[in-house]
Amino acid sequence: MKSRKGGNLDLLNCCELLLARGRDLDLIIEAQVKNSFLPLKKDLFKTSLSYFACEIVDALTGEGQENSQLFELLKDFLKHLAKEPEKEKQKLLLLSFEFKVIDLSGFFSFKLIGQTEMMDLVLILKDRGLEEVNSLQVDPALLNRLELIAARILQDISEKEFKSLKFFSQVERQGLKRD
């Protein structure tokens, strides 16, 4: 049996759901798409960044646990990512999202960063809005080093290896495009 709601429940769709509580499982009665983030689905690089962000949120949120701040941060990240045409700026948005998530999760510490020359930039990425972060000019080598640090921190606190991070790295290395 196929669900008529199936197309609405794509990973990158922001939906409003009407649920019927069940004893073991809830039943989706109605699903209405609020934002399909279509530009993210048309660009494989953006898709890979989006999947990684979703996997981070999933790894750091317990089943049935509500976290409206994290949800709003994810929506804001996806909205800004959808509009950004430059790959380096897309990566910067993801990095800011990662440090904001680490901070929201209560695990942020400069000891985890380890390198003093990066601390000012990390503070900006963590504390400023994505709109402001998007206007920064960051050395690509520094951006790459911070990406590795953020991914390591997230993997350590989630005790999980992110599959989408491997996919993102592969897409970035090969310059894959979606037609």
Per residue in 53-111, pLDDT tens?
Answer: 999 999 999 887 889 999 999 999 999 999 999 999 999 999 999 999 999 999 998 88
Report CA Rg, the chain. 17
Q: How many angstroms separate the CA atoms of 172 and 7, rounded?
A: 28
Q: Note the pLDDT of residue 2.
A: 53
- Select from 1.20.1440, 1.10.3470, 2.60.40, 1.10.287 the CATH code of 38-174: 1.20.1440
Domain boundaries defined on the chain: 1-36, 38-174
Q: Note the pLDDT of residue 39.
A: 95
Q: Note the pLDDT of residue 3.
A: 57
pLDDT in tens, 5-41: 557 778 898 888 888 988 888 888 888 899 899 999 9
What residues contact residue 45 under an 8 Å CB cut-off, 6+ apart? 87, 90, 171, 172, 176
